[in-house]
Amino acid sequence: MDKKIKKQTGSSDRDAAFVRAVQGGDMAAFDQLVVKHKNKLFNMVYWFLGDYQEANDCAQEIFIKVFKGIKKFRFESAFSTWLYRIAINTCKNKLKSSAYRWEKRTVPFENPDSSKEGNRSYEIQNGSLSPANELEKKEKIMRIQKAVNSLPREQNRVIVLRDIQGLTYQEIADITGLNLGTVKSKLSRARMELRNRLNRAQIFADIHR
């Protein structure tokens, strides 16, 4: 089964047009770029950082950095690639500076109180959750979120870019600066590790039901 990978044809051409307009001083074109990319970017940043408020602050900062540096953009890569590079670097710096908060957020699966710590996870409040399966879904999402966030940084990065954002191996290589073989091997290990952690969490949850 092939993974359905989302691609927007012609998207990069539109992006290039907007970028040229912004470089010419058109603020409306910048707004268009923000509107077009904010959802995907925000989602990615959220899965990198694991906290909604942090993701909100960081995503805004990323777009501001894009605006400041857009005059230096030379169209050597796709705008989205450049945008994600900035996003990853910004999130890296944020995680370095808030390592303690990151550790606090990553609750070990053995901790019986982990299920009670729902505040950070359920700040999402995205209306896509079905009311009928709300509790089960919430628990499931929480487990996945914690498991993803608990992965080593580079594994977390590649699995979010590939399995959550839907980017290709080559796009991931362009954004992260890793070579293609490294991306594949890291992704393979990340998926296995995530599977193991989710299995452990499931077992733990089943025992304490």
Partner 1 sequence: MNCAAILKWLSEYIDGALDAQTRAEVEKHIAVCENCKQELASLRAVVEELGALDPVKPPADFLEKIHERMETRSGFNKILRKLFVPFHIKIPLELAAAATVTILVVLVLNIQQPEIQMMKLPAASTSQRMAEKPKEGLIKPDLKKEAGRPTPVFEEVPAKASDAENVWFARRSSTKSVPPSIQVESEPKSSVLAKKKASQFAGKGHSIELALVLKTGAIGGAYKPGIAMQAAPLLENDESTVEKKSARTDSFERKIDARRRDRATDLLPRMEYIIDHLQGKVLTLEYDRHAGQLKSIFAEIPAKNYKSFCRELTGLATFQSPPPGLTNKYPEMIQVRIRFLSD
CB of 61 to partner 1, least distance (A): 8
Nearer to partner 1, 9 or 128 (CB): 128
CB of 63 to partner 1, least distance (A): 5
Nearer to partner 1, 113 or 140 (CB): 140
Nearer to partner 1, 34 or 78 (CB): 34
Write down the residue that tokens 């910048």 correspond to.
Answer: 30
> Euclidean distance between the first and final Cα of the chain, in Å?
34
What Å distances lie between residue 30 and 10, 56, 61, 65, CA to CA? 18, 18, 14, 12
Query: Do 144 and 100 form a contact (C-beta atoms < 8 A)?
Result: no
CB of 25 to partner 1, least distance (A): 14
Query: Do 161 and 172 form a contact (C-beta atoms < 8 A)?
Result: yes
Cβ contacts of 44 within 8 Å, gap of 6 or more: 84, 87, 160, 161, 164, 165
Q: Which residues bind partner 1 (CB under 8 A)?
A: 1-4, 31, 34-35, 38-40, 42-43, 46-47, 52, 55-56, 59-61, 63-64, 67, 124, 126, 128-129, 140-141, 144, 148, 159, 162-164, 166, 169, 184, 187-188, 191-192, 194-195, 198-199
Nearer to partner 1, 29 or 55 (CB): 55
- Reference 157, options 139, 182, 136, 127; nearest CA is 182
Nearer to partner 1, 43 or 81 (CB): 43
